[in-house]
């Protein structure tokens, strides 16, 4: 059994990790940390896990916790995983960080976008970006995995076939994304207060969202040259789910049927990417609680643009499910172990 510890277990992504791993046939949960709920049974915080989880929340003792586990998941705000990563590497264990501390290759760029000093810059060269569909072989050999952000997951998976085949002008990419309120986390905030979100629809982080450099970094790696995007996220009045609509100018005439075939072939061996048949479009409700990413692609001959729609559950494929997928890769398990569940509907 793989001994697993979760640091930050009572946020929404932490709770999803606990939910998924509580039913994982190869995992033993050994520690769940929480500053706010230390000493309380975990099921008191999340009653839906009563009789599934018997552990109590505990304060973080980094040395002891790392020693007790084979792999550690950190589900913490940016800036809080750096020292933990250093201890994990020191003890020769594995880490999947669901935060942003190791996603960007450049400390200068990290500090510019996150306004936090990066204190473990020497570890960046060891970090692997945790999108299995792109970096599976590197993840399998890694000690430190930087789990992707939710918006970048939809954008990168949606654009990868076009960019790898040089079918899109990378100077024309526009990504218009919508997310449910759970993406903002569990902490109390006016912007996610019920009266503020209900019956409302709003953009935020316009031209400044911190996932922008992450998307640009990975698209640039795919393209072999610098890619600059326009990215605008929106908050919609639902609990979970994410859908990105992506636009770009095609380099050549190609119809929707050909594009669909290209995507089907590109993702033929990827269990968690579902390229939908022509006439079927992604919708967030079809993905609730699942680790799938649904994609549809359409050519618009009138404008010469391509339109890609990419949808996920932001807490699963956009965070905790993908983290477990990365763990499965690291330990040589089938990637769908513990994740092969049908989403809930309605």
Which positions are annotated as active-site residues? Answer: 150
| Distance separating alpha carbons of residues 295 and 190, to the nearest angstrom | 33
Q: Residue-wise over 213-248: b if at least 16 C-beta within 10 A, else e?
A: bbbbbbbbbbbeeebebebbbebbebebbbbbbbbb
Per the CB < 8 A criterion, the answer to whether 229 and 220 are in contact is no
Per the CB < 8 A criterion, the answer to whether 259 and 306 are in contact is yes
Listed residue (24, 194, 221) closest to 3, CA to CA: 24
Per the CB < 8 A criterion, the answer to whether 141 and 161 are in contact is no
| Distance separating alpha carbons of residues 208 and 13, to the nearest angstrom | 23
- The position carrying tokens 């207060």 is 193
First-to-last alpha carbon distance for the chain, in angstroms, is 35
| Distance separating alpha carbons of residues 250 and 139, to the nearest angstrom | 32
> Within 13 Å, how many C-alpha atoms sit on residue 278's CB side?
10
| Distance separating alpha carbons of residues 257 and 166, to the nearest angstrom | 18
Torsional sign, CA 191, 180, 296, 278? negative
| Distance separating alpha carbons of residues 270 and 40, to the nearest angstrom | 40
| Distance separating alpha carbons of residues 92 and 69, to the nearest angstrom | 11
């Amino acid at each position: 059994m793989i001994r697993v510890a979760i640091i930050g277990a009572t946020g929404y992504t932490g709770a999803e990790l606990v939910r998924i791993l509580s039913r994982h046939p190869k995992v033993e949960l050994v520690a769940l940390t929480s500053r706010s709920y230390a000493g309380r049974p975990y099921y008191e915080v999340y009653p839906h896990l009563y009789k599934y989880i018997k552990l109590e929340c505990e304060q973080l003792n980094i040395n002891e916790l790392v020693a007790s586990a084979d792999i550690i998941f950190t589900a913490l705000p940016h800036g809080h995983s750096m020292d933990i990563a250093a201890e994990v590497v020191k003890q020769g264990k594995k880490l999947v960080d669901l935060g942003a501390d190791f996603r960007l290759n450049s400390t200068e760029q990290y500090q510019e976008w996150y306004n936090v000093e990066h204190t473990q810059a020497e570890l960046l060269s060891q970090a692997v970006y945790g999108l299995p569909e792109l970096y599976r072989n590197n993840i399998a050999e890694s000690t430190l995995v930087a789990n992707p952000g939710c918006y970048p997951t939809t954008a990168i998976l949606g654009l990868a076939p076009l960019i790898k085949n040089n079918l899109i002008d990378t100077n024309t990419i526009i990504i218009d994304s919508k997310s449910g309120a759970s993406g903002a986390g569990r902490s109390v905030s006016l912007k996610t207060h019920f009266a503020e979100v209900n019956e409302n629809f709003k953009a935020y982080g316009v031209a400044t969202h911190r996932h922008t450099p992450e998307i640009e970094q990975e698209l640039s790696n795919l393209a072999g040259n610098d890619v600059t995007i326009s990215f605008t996220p929106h908050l919609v009045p639902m609990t979970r789910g994410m859908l990105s609509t992506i636009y770009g100018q095609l380099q050549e005439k190609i119809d929707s049927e050909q594009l669909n075939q290209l995507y089907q072939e590109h993702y033929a061996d990827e269990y968690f990417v579902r390229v939908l048949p022509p006439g079927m479009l992604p919708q967030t409700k079809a993905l609730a609680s699942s680790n799938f990413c649904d994609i549809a692609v359409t050519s618009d001959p009138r404008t010469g643009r391509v339109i890609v729609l990419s949808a996920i559950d932001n807490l699963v494929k956009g965070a905790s499910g993908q983290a477990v997928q990365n763990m499965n890769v690291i330990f040589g398990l089938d990637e769908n172990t513990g994740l092969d569940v049908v989403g809930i509907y309605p």
